[in-house]
Structures are given as structure tokens and as C-alpha cells.
Amino acid sequence: MGLGSAAIALMRASLVLGILLSTAVTSGAIDTAYLGTWSRSADKCEFDDVFRITRQGMSGHEFACKTTRSSRSENGWSLRLACSEEGNTYTLDVRWHLLENGRLRETRKGKSTEYARCSGSATPRSQPALMDTPFGRVTQQEFARKCVGCFNEAQGMGRSVGGYCPVGCVDVFSTMVCDNQGRCRVGP
């Protein structure tokens, strides 16, 4: 017994609608009003007590998550995040909702927590994240500058860079640019 043309048309329409909906859900683009740095208390926006929401996901002290699925929900956004923390990977489902008072309500596994926007964090770029390094707590850009300085210093003393500079500098060394006199700087 064959399918009628109406049934085939309905199946095609359902397939197209399903593809369109799945594309919208996995787009990963959330409202820019959510971007920035958040903490449980606006006056406690310290290194290990904050997290940052970016267009790609969220990150904080010793963890980073990439958005794998996002969709507009009735009061905000529902997201699925692929996360990594201290060598462990996991999936996180969260709902974010901006409240009238400007706070962010995050719901995970039915439990809600409210966060305040850290001052000066209208966008993720306005407050660079600090990281613990052998050079102290510095931004990623400052760390790169200090690694290049270490490289130049080691070269000037005729020492091995590998035994003189911190191991974390290896990634910086592969991107730095050197002039014809051997002086190097942070690469593009």
C-alpha cells in the first residue's frame, strides 16, 4: 500500500521544519546582554570567584566551557555546554535569565543561583582575566610579554631557554616574531 501525495508532502515539510529547528537550537549565539564577567557579589569580583560569559561559552578559575547548543527560552536562554575542569570533561545544561535588577539567574539541575555583573565588564574584553603564572597573577597578554622577555634575556646570557624560562612559555615561543638581530616580540 503506497503513501498518498499529501502524506509525502507532510513528511517532507516535517523534515524541513526539523532541520530548521535543529539549526536554530545549535547556533550558539546568545543575546549580548549576557556577555561579561559575573560573581555572586558585585563587591567580590576576585580571580577565583568569577566566571565570564562569551559568545563561545563560559570560563572561570580552572574551568572552560564551550556552547554546543543554545536556544531562546521563555525567560532567557537554555544552553548545553561541553566543559573541561582540571583534566575532567563533562556536559552542563544551564538556563540563564536576566532579572529586572540586572542580576543573572542561572539554573542548573533545578537549583537557581543569582549573580551580579562585575563592574567594568560590559563586554568580556573590558576586564581581562587574570591567570596564575610563574610571573604572578597576570593577564594572558602580559604573560606572553614576560615569556618573550625571558626568551630575550636567556638568549642575551647565552643560556638555554628551556632551562631558564617557565614551561608554560613554550606556546608563546612558537608564535613570537624575531628580527634579524635576534630580538623577539609577541607575535600577531
Residue linked to cell 626568551: 151
Q: Picking from 16-20, 62-66, 133-137, 174-178, which range would have the lowest pLDDT averaged per residue?
A: 16-20
In terms of pLDDT, which residue wins out, 41 or 96? 96
Distance separating alpha carbons of residues 66 and 59, to the nearest angstrom: 9
Closest CA to 52 of 105, 117, 99, 102: 117
Q: Where are the beta strands (DSSP E) in 109-181?
A: 111-117, 130-133, 136-139, 177-178
Measuring CA to CA, how many Å separate 180 from each of 23, 30, 177, 183, 184?
50, 46, 10, 8, 9
Closest CA to 111 of 90, 95, 89: 95
Residue range 68-87, pLDDT digits in tens: 998 887 778 899 999 888 78
Give the type of residue at 62.
E
Residue range 97-124, pLDDT digits in tens: 988 888 899 999 999 999 998 876 543 3
Give the type of residue at 146.
K
Closest CA to 52 of 118, 142, 96, 140: 118
Please tell me the class of the 26-124 domain.
Answer: mainly beta
Question: Phi, psi (5° rounding) for residue 137?
Answer: -85, 110
Q: Where are the beta strands (DSSP E) in 35-128?
A: 36-39, 50-53, 57-60, 63-73, 76-85, 88-98, 104-108, 111-117
Torsion of CA 93, 104, 36, 46, to 10 degrees: -100
Residue range 136-172, pLDDT digits in tens: 777 777 878 888 888 888 778 887 777 778 777 777 7
Domain boundaries, the chain: 26-124, 130-185
Distance separating alpha carbons of residues 163 and 2, to the nearest angstrom: 76
% of the chain beyond a pLDDT of 70: 75
